[in-house]
Structure 1
Amino acid sequence: MTSKSSPRRVALAFLAHPDDAEMFCAGTLLRLAELGWEIHIATATPGDCGSATMSRDEIAEIRRAEGAAAAKVLGGTYHCVEERDLNVVFDKPTNRKVIDLFRQIAPSLVFTHPLFDYMLDHEQVHQLARSAAFGYSAPNGSSLPLVAGSMIPWLYYCDPIEGCDPYTREVASHTVCVDITEVIERKSEMLASHASQREWLRAHHGMDEYIETMKRLGAMRGQEIGSSYAEAFTQHRGHPYPQSDLLRELLGEK
């Protein structure tokens, strides 16, 4: 195992769908990449319901490619667990796949969805991420080889969309805000890699503000710390997770 004072510099954003990381934590991933961290972005699904006109297989192929293109902007790697939209569940087979994914990547820092979010796929991924973060480094937790330096990682929950829970209550309990002002254009570039989603959101959500929605949330969190743009996170500090605030230590946030 690696000491918590000198962990592997490997960060994993494990979220539900392609473009979730780009919406909620890509600015922080960009800043970590600038510090020399190895970055992985993984999704539970390939976004196979993200089209009003294409078949599941057609849009999934496009969205996997968009996810890989977005990750390439920061020199990262994209992975997909290959569950399906609207059908992500915390069950034994899916839990096994996610633990194995964590086992291969061996992250010391993990980002995922909050416990309560507007879509149940997100909430199920929260549970899967917690399970894998806790268990992947246990020697008998997976049949895959244990990477040297595997550990229970620092675990952070991203903001929900618009900073509200599913019942429109504002989430104000985050533990750290990361200033992303200097990387906001590159974050926008990553989000723009998901071109297929503009038309889908216009058709299904009635919105045509893909990047502006992301920037509005960033500006709201930035105002809290006196910057133009920020991303907010809530750290999981339950036993036996690391207790220090690694993001604050690394990025000097308020």
Structure 2
Amino acid sequence: MSKSVLAILAHPDDAEILCAGTLIRLRQEHNWTVHIATMTAGDCGTAEYPPEKIAEIRRSEGASAAKLIGGEYHCLGARDMRVEYSNDLVEKTVQLMCKVRASVVLTHSPDDYHPDHEATSKIVRTATFAAPIPNYLHGRWIDPPLEHIPHLYYCDPVEGKDILGRPIVPGFWIEVTKVMDLKSQMLAAHASQRNWLIKHHGVDDYIISMKDWSAKQGKNVAFEYAEGFRQHLGHSYPQNNLLAELLGSKTL
């Protein structure tokens, strides 16, 4: 049975921007099962459609992007701008982690530009700790608890800075040069976001913006393209850097 990686971010297209290259490499080089999950279906990500319609579109786009690498997409059903730390979302996240038997979990930086990103990060951190505890969902487990806390990694915050503009430096970088074309195809599957990003973010070509950021991160460590991560190394979490062991990495 192959091992499983779960990237659980706030919105459809977040994973494709922040960590899809790493997911592709785990799939291609080690045959890991890939799961991409979002807290919301992106119901505010439009200036054209009502919430239900854009959510339907974006769930389909998320599934199409994941399918490009043989992955599976999941949505936990929260609403945009309403992702809050709650028992309900922690429990849903734990159940998903146990369903997919996640060995590695990727999520947002605890400090980021978007409140949904920061709430998602906290929810996922709690869920990784709770997922192996038998009594956490006593009598309500759908799948058995995990055997141990999974490896937890935080992706780059958007633009690599906190809300005060201070830089957040990755602990290490994973090279994604050889898979950049496929990563770009995954992001292109989120076609509904082009007009929205032009209107709200002033970004005309989100694929070029993604590649520019990956190139900037790669330049730090002499890669053409890279994704940056920090590993959660608090008490009781795995201390070995499994991503680096599997894919190689560089640090400053």
Say if 1:107 and 1:150, in contact at 8 Å, map to a contact too.
Answer: no
- Structure 2: which amino acid aligns with 1:154? H
Write the distance in 1 (CA, Å) between the matches of 2:223 and 2:149.
32
- For residue 150 of structure 2, the aligned residue among 125, 130, 153 is 153
Q: How does 1:178-193 map to 2 (within 5 A)?
A: 178-193=174-189
Structure 2, unaligned runs of 5 or more: none
Q: CA deviation at 1:149?
A: 5.9
Which residue is equivalent to 1:126? 121
Corresponding position: 1:19 with 2:16: no
Identity percentage of aligned residues: 48
- For residue 226 of structure 2, the aligned residue among 226, 230, 245 is 230
> How many correspondences in the alignment?
247
Write the distance in 1 (CA, Å) between the matches of 2:2 and 2:235.
20
- For residue 210 of structure 2, the aligned residue among 201, 207, 214 is 214
1:227 aligned counterpart, secondary structure? coil
Moved beyond 3 Å, runs of 4+: 145-150
- For residue 138 of structure 1, the aligned residue among 133, 139, 147 is 133
- For residue 165 of structure 1, the aligned residue among 162, 174, 186 is 162
Q: CA deviation at 1:209?
A: 2.2
2:231 aligned counterpart, secondary structure? strand
1:80 aligned counterpart, secondary structure? strand
Write the distance in 2 (CA, Å) between the matches of 1:232 and 1:114.
11
Write the distance in 1 (CA, Å) between the matches of 2:32 and 2:176.
16
Write the distance in 1 (CA, Å) between the matches of 2:91 and 2:195.
34
- Superposed CA offset, 1:42-93 (max 9, x none): 0000000011010000000000000000001111000000000000000122
Structure 1, unaligned runs of 5 or more: 1-6
- Superposed CA offset, 1:105-140 (max 9, x none): 220100000111000000000011001111112122
Q: How does 1:46-125 map to 2 (within 5 A)?
A: 46-125=41-120
RMSD: 1.4
Say if 2:39 and 2:78, in contact at 8 Å, map to a contact too.
Answer: yes
Write the distance in 1 (CA, Å) between the matches of 2:129 and 2:118.
17
